[in-house]
Structure 1
Amino acid sequence: MNSFRFIHLVQFVVLMGLQILLMRNLVLYDRGFCFVYIGFILFLPIDIDKVLLLILAFMSGITIDLFYDTAGMHAAATVLMAYLRPSMLKLLTPRDGYEVSDNASLTSMGWRWFLTYAMVLIFVHHFTLFFLELNGFKLIGFTLAKIIISTLFTGAVLVIFQMLFFERRARGFR
């Protein structure tokens, strides 16, 4: 097992552990929920195989479903986010293209790129998750507030996570 796979395995275990043990109980005013486990999918390399990406998304979502007793809602939201990830990456391709060693990370791609990429995909995940949980369009105002606050909360925590644990690259911050 090379170091690249080991790093992503450790990242998976750490993010799942954080989600299950800590973030599950961290709620802002009954509206803001933090789902750091989706960072595992967001931080994967840009050139990852699409089928592998969907399998990893399903595995991470179903793991959370097992602990949250949510019957596949996290798996569905995470797989949809992973399905849309390649399109989002294609949409945000830099003028010079991606380098082989690029990861989808703040330190590798810069602030503007990462915040656009992450916030859109986090919003898709949360929108799907909360509307699946709601099972319809009743209480739409409360649900939209949960989606927006949770998106900002999750995005802020993932940015902090990246700033603490990811090494700085040659491209630096843009």
Structure 2
Amino acid sequence: MNNSFGLTHIVQFFLFVALQVLLMDNLVLYSTGFCFIYVAFLLYLPLTINRVWLLILGFIVGFTVDIFYDTMGIHAAASVLLAFLRPHVLNLLTPRDGYDSSDAVNIHVMGTRWFLTYAFTLILFHHTAVFFLETINSQTFLYTLVKVLISTLFTGIVVIIMQLLFFSPKRERIDYR
């Protein structure tokens, strides 16, 4: 890892957490659709990142959001779950020829179908963990399930829009040597 790699991801970390705390906290669809944009930080990390670092970064980003939301570790637990499941989802989605060491998690590099499957699967697991840890109540199961589905769709659409706006096709492959 070089300095530009580290600096890029540090900036992304602060940007996504700031967006979550300052903007997305107030952007709720009919009290059921929540956008947790900070998960994009974990989704956009390189394919070859060490699993231990991925879990540590998952905890740090989730714990940072927990500090601002006063949610006692719910986001940290859900982010660590996302970080834990990410390599397994990547293994399931591995192309026939495998991943290139220079491949980035980018809709332009990996393709629309791959990125949609990757992002929506991990976002669904994350949101399920967040909302069911928050509720822990069987009486509101259907309402919580609706919150999970609408929030997953909302967050997924925002993540895709961010990919299309800020990740240009000209920067398809990034060399981290």
Decide whether the 8 Å contact of 1:31 with 1:150 is kept in 2. Answer: yes
Decide whether the 8 Å contact of 1:131 with 1:137 is kept in 2. Answer: no
Opposite residue 56 of structure 2, the aligned amino acid is: I
Per-residue CA deviations over 1:81-121 (Å, capped at 9, x if unaligned) read: 11000000000000111000112221221100000000000
1:55 corresponds in structure 2 to 56
**Are positions 1:103 and 2:98 aligned together?**
no
Where in structure 1 do 4 or more consecutive aligned residues deviate above 4 Å? none
Opposite residue 56 of structure 1, the aligned amino acid is: L
Per-residue CA deviations over 1:30-78 (Å, capped at 9, x if unaligned) read: 1000000000000000010000000000000000000000000000001
Opposite residue 149 of structure 1, the aligned amino acid is: I
Decide whether the 8 Å contact of 2:106 with 2:172 is kept in 1. Answer: no
Output the CA distance in 1 between the equivalents of 2:77 and 2:63: 9
**Are positions 1:141 and 2:142 aligned together?**
yes
Structure 2: segments with no counterpart, 5+ residues: none
The within-5 A match list for 1:1-174 is: 2-168=3-169, 169-170=171-172
Deviation, structure 1 residue 170:
4.8
The two structures have a TM-score, normalised by structure 1, of 0.95
Decide whether the 8 Å contact of 2:63 with 2:73 is kept in 1. Answer: yes
Output the CA distance in 2 between the equivalents of 1:170 and 1:164: 14
Decide whether the 8 Å contact of 2:104 with 2:172 is kept in 1. Answer: no
Deviation, structure 1 residue 3:
1.1
Q: What is the root-mean-square deviation in Å for CA atoms of aligned residues?
A: 1.1
Query: For structure 1, which segment, 5-14 or 33-42, has the greater mean C-alpha deviation from structure 2 after superposition?
Result: 5-14
Decide whether the 8 Å contact of 1:85 with 1:121 is kept in 2. Answer: yes
Output the CA distance in 1 between the equivalents of 2:43 and 2:69: 21
Query: For structure 1, which segment, 121-130 or 104-113, has the greater mean C-alpha deviation from structure 2 after superposition?
Result: 104-113
* SS class of match (1:138): helix
Structure 1: segments with no counterpart, 5+ residues: none
Deviation, structure 1 residue 137:
2.1
Opposite residue 8 of structure 2, the aligned amino acid is: I
Opposite residue 53 of structure 1, the aligned amino acid is: L
* SS class of match (1:103): coil
* SS class of match (2:8): helix
